[in-house]
Amino acid sequence: MPPQRATLLQVAQRAGVSRSTASFVLAGRHQDMRISEDARQRVLRAAQELDYRPNLMARSLRTKVTRTIALVSDTLASDPYAGRAINGSLAAAVAHGHLLFIGETEGDPVVEEKLISDFLDRQVDAFIYASMFTRYVRLPKQLKGRSVVLLNCLTHRSRPAQHQVIPDELAAGWTAATTLLEAGHRGGIHLVGSPGEHVFAGRERLAGIREGLHAADVRLAGTVECDWWPDSAYEAVSRALAEGLMPQALICLNDRIALGTYQALREAGLDIPDAVSVISFDDSELAAWLRPQLTSISLPHYQLGWQAVEKLLGPASDPAVLRVPMPVRRRASVAKPAVR
């Protein structure tokens, strides 16, 4: 059997003070109650000697505060890359003296309803409602009127009812464009990937790319349509090159597309970055594995998780959409345009 925990009464008896005095000292209220420094030190010493820990369950029953947060996601927690958002949330929760519960629904509404009900039964103080991919969501009815922050997702309301923390994909697109412009590219810049109106990241990235290029009076030369996977990108880029495409630079909508693009360019005898510059988004582990290493705009998963908890537990402010910056990781895949 586990050893019996020391009680507040035992701490008080060992320190030679009343139970209420011991309680005030351990709660940090000794100055309010004008408790002497000698009595405070005796209580603290007794608590240390007895390895006293407060009964949080009993405290929560009195205060109605459990110092716990529930993070409910679709598949965010189980993804090794996006899981860094969990790490950021955990670190911020610990910094605020809170415990973070994590639940994953795999997109099943029945599981989601049961999970939220279980967390409510455990009287969590607040929720983070998270998504693996940035998208528009409808907040579950069970969370209406509760303390909630949305992580990597948005509602359709023009005036948000909750804080919504998302990556700044629009600015990321601008960064991709200006990175190529700074290298000297003014033409032959092609997009690789199908943005798709239903894909939030693709739509925002493309808009940012166009705005960044337009500011320098430059336009995209074209788009190589493909799914966001290496095999589709490889086939599409290989076909475009065989049909006579001669790009100066390729902007890939994610690192998996860049992987397929690398393979197609290599088979066509086009060196990166001497013949063709390549830039991408996400900054996944692929970016550092590829040779040459891939310049990529980073998804700030850790910062997203941290900011979600900060909005939940930090100073109160009006609900708004917080766009977290996406920094560029400059590597070896972008160079000045080839002379042709």
Please write the tens of the pLDDT for every residue from 190-236.
999 999 878 899 999 999 999 999 999 999 999 999 999 999 999 99
CA 41-44-47 angle, to 5 degrees, is 150
Whole-angstrom Cα distance, residue 145 to residue 136?
A: 19
Q: pTM of the entire structure?
A: 0.82
Please write the tens of the pLDDT for every residue from 264-300.
999 999 999 999 999 999 999 999 999 999 999 999 9
321 beta partners: 164
**Amino acid 26: pLDDT:** 79
**Amino acid 61: pLDDT:** 47
Query: Where does the pLDDT of residue 326 fall: very low under 50, low under 70, confident under 90, or very high at 90 and above?
Result: very high
- Lowest-pLDDT range of 14-28, 127-141, 192-206, 325-339: 14-28
**Amino acid 64: pLDDT:** 57
Calculate mean pLDDT across residues 107-115: 93
pLDDT at 240 over 70: yes
DSSP string across 42-111: HHHHHHHHTT----HHHHHHHHS---EEEEEESSTTT-TTTTHHHHHHHHHHHHTT-EEEEEE-TT-HHH
For residue 134, the tally of other CB atoms under 10 A from its CB is 19
Residues 6 or more apart from 100 whose CB is under 8 A from it? 68, 69, 70, 71, 89, 90, 93, 309
Whole-angstrom Cα distance, residue 132 to residue 257?
A: 19
Whole-angstrom Cα distance, residue 271 to residue 262?
A: 9
pLDDT at 303 over 80: yes
DSSP string across 252-309: ESSHHHHHHHHHHHHHTT--TTTT-EEEEEE--HHHHHSSSPPEEEEP-HHHHHHHHH
Calculate mean pLDDT across residues 76-82: 66
Strands 328-329 and 295-298: what pairing? antiparallel
**Amino acid 32: pLDDT:** 65
Average pLDDT, the chain: 91
- Lowest-pLDDT range of 12-26, 57-71, 198-212: 57-71
Please write the tens of the pLDDT for every residue from 242-264.
999 999 999 999 999 999 999 99
Is cis: bond before 273, omega within 30 of 0? yes
